[in-house]
Chains A and B, each alone.
Chain A
Amino acid sequence: SSELTQDPAVSVALGQTVRITCQGDSLRSYYASWYQQKPGQAPVLVIYGKNNRPSGIPDRFSGSSSGNTASLTITGAQAEDEADYYCNSRGQRVVFGGGTKLTVL
């Protein structure tokens, strides 16, 4: 299957750590990339490759992968991290996960 599955919603207390996961068969041979999208804005790349952050992305964002599951971890979540997060991979075709809405309490 070329699909990627994400939990629709996750919440985290301010300053705590949260993990957002993405599952799919393509992740066995592809690293996921991760995007943050705030309302009314274009998505922004936050993690790519094995665990790389573009310039300007805080180091509280990290990525990992095991088997068919990729994870985005935010260590010490901030109020400004509240957003939708999408994973992406390229198996038989390019595909995005359904997105996870992160609420920072």
Chain B
Amino acid sequence: QVQLQQWGAGLLKPSETLSLTCAVYGGSFSGYYWSWIRQPPGKGLEWIGEINHSGSTNYNPSLKSRVTISVDTSKNQFSLKLSSVTAADTAVYYCARVVIRIYYYGSGNVWSNWFDPWGQGTLVTVSS
């Protein structure tokens, strides 16, 4: 059973760089994308970006200029860096495994994408 454990600094000052790491235990690291998702207090989920074992990344366009996601396959870990943080970046940050599948039908193909499992979440607060 795959488990994700994440860690990183929980309190930052404006303009600093957020840094979080997520370790994957008990399953295959290759063959999946690995993602970061955040949730501001009292609000919904926002996808930040993802990476696969080869280092191929996809980012949310709204955060792309400040986000770097990297992977360390030797440790089955992936990391998030978000630069120039502001109070608007205060949120619980989650890591999660991404599964992408395609279903083939005669009338056309349908894709599916899901996040499972999730890490425990890390509250990151940005305050001066």
How does the 8 Å CB contact mask read for B104-120 relative to A, with 1 for contact and 0 for none?
Answer: 00001111111111111
Q: How far is the CB of A33 from chain B (nearest CB, A)?
A: 4
A30 to B102, CA, bound (A): 9
B94 touches A43 (CB 8 A): yes
A23 to B109, CA, bound (A): 19
Q: How far is the CB of A80 from chain B (nearest CB, A)?
A: 19
Tell me the B residues contacting A by CB distance below 8 Å. Answer: 35, 37, 44-47, 50, 58, 60-61, 94, 99-101, 103, 108-121
Quick one: which of B50, B113, B116, B119 contacts A54, CB cutoff 8 A? B116
A41 to B105, CA, bound (A): 37
Known contacts A29-B110, A93-B61; A45/B44 CB under 8 A: no
A42 touches B116 (CB 8 A): no
A94 touches B103 (CB 8 A): no
Per the 8 Å Cβ criterion, residues 69-104 of A in contact with B are 86, 88-90, 93-99
A89 to B98, CA, bound (A): 12
Find the A residue at minimum CB distance from B92: A42
Interface of B is mostly: strand
A86 to B45, CA, bound (A): 8
Kindly list chain B residues whose C-beta atoms are within 8 Å of the C-beta of A43: 45, 94, 115, 118
The winner among A30, A50, A88, A90 for most chain B CB atoms within 10 A is A90
A31 touches B116 (CB 8 A): no
Kindly list chain B residues whose C-beta atoms are within 8 Å of the C-beta of A97: 44
Quick one: which of A35, A50, A88 contacts B113, CB cutoff 8 A? A88
A65 to B37, CA, bound (A): 25
Kindly list chain B residues whose C-beta atoms are within 8 Å of the C-beta of A98: 44
A48 to B121, CA, bound (A): 22
A33 touches B114 (CB 8 A): yes
Q: How far is the CB of B30 from chain A (nearest CB, A)?
A: 20
B112 touches A88 (CB 8 A): no
A33 touches B103 (CB 8 A): no
Additional A-B contact list (17), CB under 8 Å, known A33-B115, A54-B116, A86-B45: A31-B103, A35-B115, A42-B119, A42-B121, A43-B94, A43-B118, A44-B118, A49-B112, A50-B103, A50-B110, A50-B112, A88-B45, A90-B113, A93-B58, A94-B35, A94-B58, A97-B44
